[in-house]
Amino acid sequence: MERLIHWLWLQRKMGPLCSSSLDGESRVKPSRRWQKPTSRTLIMGDKKAGFSVFWADDGLDTGPILLQRSCDVKPNDTVDNLYNRFLFPEGIKAMVEAVQLIADGKAPRTPQPEEGATYEGIQKKENAEISWDQPAEVLHNWIRGHDKVPGAWAEINGQMVTFYGSSLLTNSVPAGEPLDIKGANKPGLVTKKGLVLFGNDGKTLMVKNLQFEDGKMIPASQYFSAGETSVVELTAEELKVAETIKVIWARILSNIPEIEDSTDFFKSGASSMDVVRLVEEIRQKCGGLQLQNEDVYMATKFGDFIQKVVRRLRGEDQEAELVVDYVSKEVNGMTVKIPYQCFINGQFVDAEDGETYATINPTDGTTICRVSYASLADVDRAVAAAKEAFENGEWGRMNARDRGRLMYRLADLMEESQEELATIEALDSGAVYTLALKTHIGMSVQTFKYFAGWCDKIQGSTIPINQARPNYNLTFTKKEPLGACAIIIPWNYPLMMLAWKSAACLAAGNTLVLKPAQVTPLTALKFAELTVKAGFPKGVINIIPGSGGVAGQRLSQHPDIRKLGFTGSTSVGKQIMKSCAVSNLKKVSLELGGKSPLIIFSDCDLDKAVRMGMGAVFFNKGENCIAAGRLFVEEAIHDEFVTRVVEEIKKIKIGDPLDRSTDHGPQNHRAHLEKLLQYCETGVKEGATLVYGGRQVQRPGFFMEPTVFTGVEDHMYLAKEESFGPIMVISKFQNGDIDGVLQRANNTEYGLASGVFTRDINKAMYVSDKLEAGTVFINTYNKTDVAAPFGGVKQSGFGKDLGEEALSEYLKLKTVTLEY
């Protein structure tokens, strides 16, 4: 292979093969370098770009075509990222194929059409001036088509200024300071994100960087403050670094007698290849100092470059620290700081229309704070940020092990903040603090640590197939991330449900937009703050509080979302599945409603069955997706079981979830409490026996008594529908009637979880085989673990959270077959 590549390199030098660009109308556009298409492809707004490999001619690049390859042009592509994404990797493959075709005597010679077969003058700087009286998309195409060479430019304050890093704006125009541009119909706006430019159609684009006539490049956002940076005095250690860098400059600029502060890197003859060398050599010889190519373009003079390096070493030129507007609460012996805005593209921002809503403390019914209410525009911004981070950001280029390190760091920060997170969870959801600390937060930390370990272990396989004789074949599979994903979570375990889905999503390499439940958004927003501290790049994680009918529905319909994970009711899950199918057939996983049966046989350990049976129903106030929705108790122990359950319920302490002695906190929100009370009224009307509870606790807040019904027949509402509250529904079954109780247990459209208590292992295994559920607990209940897959069947949904299987929900499998 080394000899073959060398031959290809010689062929490129000697001339038998060269190539050109293919525009959107399949016309050949020659190029001096086989790796790149012409800028005309982007300037004309073509949807396709590519290259041709063709036979050598007399140097006019008009020889017959040997083969062609093309790719889609994305809205914000430049020649450079087309090269990196497509032309370089595919060009190598194409050259190998071309040489093989020549060697085999099968290389075609397709005449080039004459149209477009000459170089155009648009590569000259004087021809790249921006003509402003055009739509925003045309301006955007012109700028990106000339990025980086020769650079589209305009006159600002009497000076030629070149524009780089254009992207179309799809959201509202941010606030900024006007900047007059010669010839423009409307002044630009210097904003904190860049320079906003206006087309004659009222639409906008944004430019990231500006370059002045002297070669200096600055972030466009710093146009009015570019000259305000003071000169830093170097320490003795920093002077040593500067001397090392001066030696590197001198080697690269060997034609310059002496490197001075005024020496300009590019005006002294350096090229783009020298930029790469400079960055890499500094990394090697200056203790791993990480610079970007753009740092060189932004500080082209040696003195300015050293200042930039020193500021980088000191951490002074890092992006501004995250600004968070907190709501502070003195509660639970600490000051709790709660973010309340949308988290989009690494920043906390108000909803575009300024809308907010109150999130309520269920313990006393008071307002905790007002939270941003995401609009459709906010959803679109969040999705755009996630898509950009995946396709063009640091996250998409990051190796798997580094991704895992970020997730470990995030898990550590969550663990360090566990008391604050548990306090917020108790305030916002009514979870008992001790349970929130152990389960809501504790399992969230475990989930991120577990999936962090999976990041560098996602791999495909090699598959033996029939060979295409006399040649050979190699077939292998690759597991790849899907792209921007959406996650919609419920209100019962706000942070834990976030962790169950987002950890697997991130480990697989995706980016995400998460919509927390409208009534419990606060731990998700606190989590967003921790992701910034952990070092997650902008746009990888976006959190948009708001309603399911607006934000959730938009996510399910959004064409740029490639996967949606949802936990919630079956009725909403069906609507989401329909929207996902109609929009772009996005991948879906659904964890929906349940009516989990728990069968208690007379040969069980009764003490254990009573204790765990109560936990199966009353854990987390009954707001538990796998809660035992119906208990089947064998006739021989039925009455004793009920009596002992009621005795234990009377010992339960109902009260403030922040009180460490509290066993049972408030229901999540008022509407849910009212639904539970109605559920109990329906049970009484249908003839079920209310043994205990069934009422609201007479105190402020949304508290309900733990409740027990017996005598529940199969046709009753209580036997069929999930309560999602602290309501134990007990039905009796005849002694020894194993198959009969199994038939009753399976007579439901749900299949999330189930359980059985018996000392007979053969009976236990028989029952577990017959129960139609995603999870079966034997002589235990609620025992979930981050390594064990979790999910339902029937109308409880499909797809898995947790365990290795969860990764498959956020990956696509690609099969690759090559012949050699």
Strand 462-463 relative to strand 342-344, pairing: unpaired
Strand 48-55 relative to strand 793-794, pairing: unpaired
Phi, psi (5° rounding) for residue 792?
Answer: -115, 180
Look-up: residue for tokens 């749900």?
750
DSSP, residue by residue, 92-120: HHHHHHHHHHHHTT----BPPPSTT-S--
Query: Distance of CA 16 to CAs 35, 66, 92, 100, Å?
Result: 16, 11, 16, 14
Angle at 653 between CA 649 and CA 654, to 5 degrees: 100
CB–CB of 433/423 below 8 Å? yes
Encoded tokens for 18 = 């060269």
Query: Which residue among the candidates 352, 420, 623, 722 is catalytic per the annotation?
Result: 722
In which region does residue 621 sit, left (phi positive, over 0), alpha (psi from -120 to 50) or beta (all else)?
A: left
Closest among 206, 552, 593, 211 to 375, alpha carbons compared: 552
CB–CB of 516/543 below 8 Å? yes
CB–CB of 407/507 below 8 Å? yes
Three-state DSSP at 67 gives: strand
Please name the residues in contact with 196: beta carbons below 8 A apart, sequence gap of 6 or more.
169, 173, 174, 176, 188, 189, 204, 205, 206
**Total Cβ atoms within 10 A of residue 675:** 14
Active site (annotated) includes residue 625: yes
CB–CB of 766/758 below 8 Å? no
Query: Which residue among the candidates 625, 634, 794, 800 is catalytic per the annotation?
Result: 625
Three-state DSSP at 221 gives: helix
CB–CB of 263/249 below 8 Å? yes
**Neighbour-count burial of 349, counting CB atoms closer than 10 A to its CB (0-12 exposed, 13-18 middle, 19+ buried):** middle
Cα separation, 540 vs 524, in Å, equals 15
Core vs surface per residue 65-94: b (16+ CB within 10 A) or e: bbbbbbbebeebbbbebbbeebbeebbeeb
Phi, psi (5° rounding) for residue 423?
Answer: -65, -45
Query: Which residue among the candidates 29, 515, 538, 800 is catalytic per the annotation?
Result: 515
Cα separation, 466 vs 475, in Å, equals 10
Query: Which residue among the candidates 352, 591, 623, 705 is catalytic per the annotation?
Result: 591
Active site (annotated) includes residue 591: yes
Cα separation, 305 vs 278, in Å, equals 11
Cα separation, 213 vs 151, in Å, equals 12
What is the sign, positive or negative, of the torsion defined by CA atoms of 30, 33, 34, 39? negative
Cα separation, 437 vs 443, in Å, equals 9
**Total Cβ atoms within 10 A of residue 127:** 11
- Find residue 359's DSSP bridge partners: 369
Closest among 657, 667, 702 to 331, alpha carbons compared: 657
Cα separation, 659 vs 653, in Å, equals 10
Phi, psi (5° rounding) for residue 64?
Answer: -60, 145
Closest among 584, 483, 494 to 543, alpha carbons compared: 494
Cα separation, 797 vs 791, in Å, equals 7
**Total Cβ atoms within 10 A of residue 318:** 9
Write out the catalytic residue numbers.
515, 591, 625, 722
